Chain A
Amino acid sequence: MSENCLSSYQIRRTILEQSKRANVGHIGSALSIADIMAALYGGILHISDPEAADRDRFVLSKGHAALALYAALAAKGWMSVQTLASYCGNASLLGVHPEHALRGVDFSTGSLGQGLSFGAGAALAAWLQQSARRVFVLVSDAECNEGSIWEAIMFAAHQRLSNLIAVVDLNGQQALGYTNDVMSLSPMADRWKAFGWDVHEVDGHDISGITQTIASLDTTSGPPHVLIAHTTFGKGVSFMEGQIKWHYWPMSDAEYQDALAQIGAVA
């Protein structure tokens, strides 16, 4: 197992700094996946550089959390500080949702329910090219409202795409409410299991646990894999955790200072 070399603190700090600077929301969704991104970009993904043809692919299917991806790309040194600071600016490639034209972004997303199909195609391509590369797709729990996600789930299981690894950010929230109130997705793990996937439930904030689980997967044969990552929406900032309003809400100055202090940073 490779040593993790990317801190979720840095990702959280970038999320707070840039969302405050740009005065935009989607903060809670990004904080929810900060530890998953730290695990992926800190050691799990095999990417020598973002142009390498045989690199592992990553699809952020829940594109509205792109700031967490930008933070990881910046922490890896694949994005300059100046580029990162253009988040949500005019003529910037760094929108709220990720665009493939940006170095390090394999697929554009933002319309929920499309990324798993892109990833399944990428995984099939790796098989056809006899490459050992793997494809990781991070989907949100509410994204599984989209019927196309289940088309992709059926397809990947039928094709036995063992090199495809989905991670579900199971934070139990969506834009206007809690998933249990809007459209129940429970029991999430059993649903994927019933569709033929190799299912693992993990703590989505335990970087070591996520890394170990993925290291244990057989990506050369068998069914595709999914990690049902139990997460807390807004993780790390107490007044955001589990709160619906932080799907869209930007921070006030006071909230920003409080949030920074809570993750252990000073402005």
Chain B
Amino acid sequence: MRGAFAKTITELAERDPRVVLLTGDLGYMALEPFSDRFPERFFNIGVAEQNMVGVATGLAEAGFIPFVYSIVTFASLRPYEFIRNGPILHQLPVRVVAMGGGFEYGHAGPTHHGLEDVGVMRVQPGITVVAPADHPQARSALLETWNVPGPVYYRFGKDDKTTIDGLDGRFALGRAQTIGHGTDLLLISMGSVTAEVAKAASILESQGVGCELMIVSSFNPAPVADLAEKLAAFPIALSVEAHYTVGGVGSLVAEVIAEHGISCRLVRCGVKSSPNGMAGDQSYFHDLHGISSTAIVETALKTLQAREVAL
């Protein structure tokens, strides 16, 4: 999605002189398509994310559409109050581009793991929140949202190779996308961990468990109607996210179930414990927190078996 972002924002900048790009000294071998083409509209603000968002607010007040770029934690948490009191409070078109959700910077350690960003962003009604599942969807999301009036938060993954079969770059604000037509289990995922969920779905299918995969990439506005409709049709749903289970897609699904009085058992797969201090690659952490394809299959089968016993 990083490459898709750089390519797409450069195209948007060709089209619209209001587009400028600010980085907190990150994006080596990533942002060059933009910085080479538009050096006068590219600003390395230095390692100062609060100021970066503040400066973007000032630029947006004057009519620019500033994109600010950093790694997820530094783009969301460090300048959070600046995002709240700047572009959200003023309803200005600042775009916060947060790279590498979940454990994409696994080796870098816990300071670089983006585990709560969607949670803290989606509690703010005044910001559009988007977390695409693959790079074609990231491009579609950018093309649909770059020019919306208020601020936008993008949680992008680094991966520009993996695609989710059947997603085909579909994206719509306030909607969820579905893949498959199984009726035994509803899988609901957010972000680039969707690749693991899709893999789990095909393993489950091969074992006779019919799955439907629902991909939530628009969080503000949330696809409440789509979720409510699907959840009502399934006895069991598994949410999967490379994020704490509080605040992200699992919480969203729980809210929809409760507020609509839907009879659907929800199992939330995601991060439930504080960092253990270990470094490791993304797949190590996915295994550790039960969000690898293998772990998702295991949880799904256990949950389905438990239901059969109960029945």
Q: Could you list which residues of chain A lie within 8 angstroms of chain B, going by C-beta atoms? A: 57, 100, 106-111, 113-114, 116-126, 128-129, 135, 147-148, 151-152, 154-155, 158-159
User: Is A155 a contact of B62 with CB atoms below 8 Å?
Assistant: no
Contact, CB under 8 Å: B58 / A117: yes
Residues of chain A within 8 A (CB-CB) of B57 are 107, 117-118, 121
Let me know if B164 is at the binding interface, CB within 8 A. Answer: no
Interface flags for B24-54 (1: CB within 8 Å of A; 0: not) read: 0000000000000000110101101011011
Given contacts A117-B50, A148-B50, contact A124 B55 (CB under 8 A): yes
B90 within 8 A of partner (CB):
yes
**Contacting residue for A122 out of B48, B61, B66, B89, CB 8 A:** B61
A selection of 27 A-B contacts at a CB cut-off of 8 Å is: A57-B61, A108-B89, A110-B85, A111-B85, A114-B54, A118-B54, A118-B61, A120-B55, A121-B57, A121-B61, A122-B61, A124-B43, A124-B58, A125-B63, A126-B62, A128-B40, A128-B41, A128-B59, A129-B62, A135-B58, A147-B50, A151-B50, A152-B55, A154-B48, A155-B51, A155-B55, A159-B43
* Chain B interface mostly: helix
B144 interface contact, C-beta 8 A: no
In the A-B complex, the 4 residue pairs with the smallest Cβ-Cβ separation, listed nearest first, are A121-B58, A117-B54, A125-B62, A151-B51
Q: Which residues of A contact B48 (CB under 8 A)?
A: 148, 151, 154-155
Q: What is the chain B residue whose CB lies nearest that of A110?
A: B85
Residue B86 CB within 8 A of the other chain: yes
With most chain A CB atoms within 10 A of its CB, the pick from B56, B62, B85 is: B62
- A109–B58 alpha-carbon span in the complex (Å): 13
Contacts of B234 in A (CB 8 A): none
Which of A118, A147, A148, A154 meets B58, CB within 8 Å?
A118
Whose C-beta in chain A lies nearest to the C-beta of B51?
Answer: A151
Q: Give A110 to B53 CA distance when docked, in angstroms.
A: 16
Q: Which of A108, A118, A125 has the most CB of B within 10 A?
A: A118
Tally of contacts, chain A with chain B, CB under 8 A: 98
Alpha-carbon gap, A108 to B62, bound state (A): 15
- Identify B54's interface contact among A125, A129, A148, A154, CB under 8 A: A148
Q: Please determine whether B51 and A152 come into contact, CB atoms closer than 8 angstroms.
A: yes
A152 → chain B closest CB, angstroms: 5
* A147 CB contacts on chain B under 8 angstroms: 50
| B16 to A: closest C-beta gap in Å | 14
Residues of B within 8 A of A110 (CB): 85
Distance in angstroms from A1 CB to nearest chain B CB is 27
Q: How far is the CB of B19 from chain A (nearest CB, A)?
A: 12
Query: Which residues of chain B are within 8 angstroms of A113 by Cβ–Cβ distance?
Result: 50
Is B59 touching A114 in the complex (CB atoms < 8 A)? no
Interface flags, B74-113, vs A, CB<8A=1, else 0: 0000000110011001100000000000000000000000
Q: Which residue among B57, B58, B64, B82 has the maximum number of chain A CB atoms within 10 Å of its CB?
A: B58
Nearest CB in chain A: distance from B238 CB, A: 40
Chain A residues, CB < 8 A from B89:
100, 108
Cβ A117 vs Cβ B51 within 8 A: yes
For the complex with contacts A57-B61, A121-B55, 12 further pairs of A-B residues with Cβ separation under 8 Å are A107-B58, A107-B90, A114-B86, A117-B54, A117-B58, A121-B61, A121-B62, A122-B58, A125-B61, A148-B48, A151-B48, A155-B51
CA distance A150 to B60 in the complex (A): 22
Residues from chain A with a CB closer than 8 A to the CB of B82 are 114, 117, 148
Inter-chain CA distance A124–B22, complex, in Å, is: 12
Given contacts A118-B86, A125-B64, contact A155 B59 (CB under 8 A): no
Q: Which residues of B contact A100 (CB under 8 A)?
A: 89-90
A120 touches which one: B41, B51, B85 (CB < 8 A)?
B51
Inter-subunit contact A114/B58 (CB<8 Å)? no
- Chain B residues with Cβ below 8 Å from A106 are 61
Task: Write out the residue numbers on chain A whose beta carbons fall within 8 Å of the beta carbon of B43.
Answer: 124, 159
Q: Which residue, B53, B59, B60, has most C-beta atoms of chain A within 10 A?
A: B59
B58 to chain A, nearest CB (A): 2
Q: A111 near B81 (CB under 8 angstroms)?
A: yes
Q: Which residues of B contact A128 (CB under 8 A)?
A: 20, 40-41, 59, 64
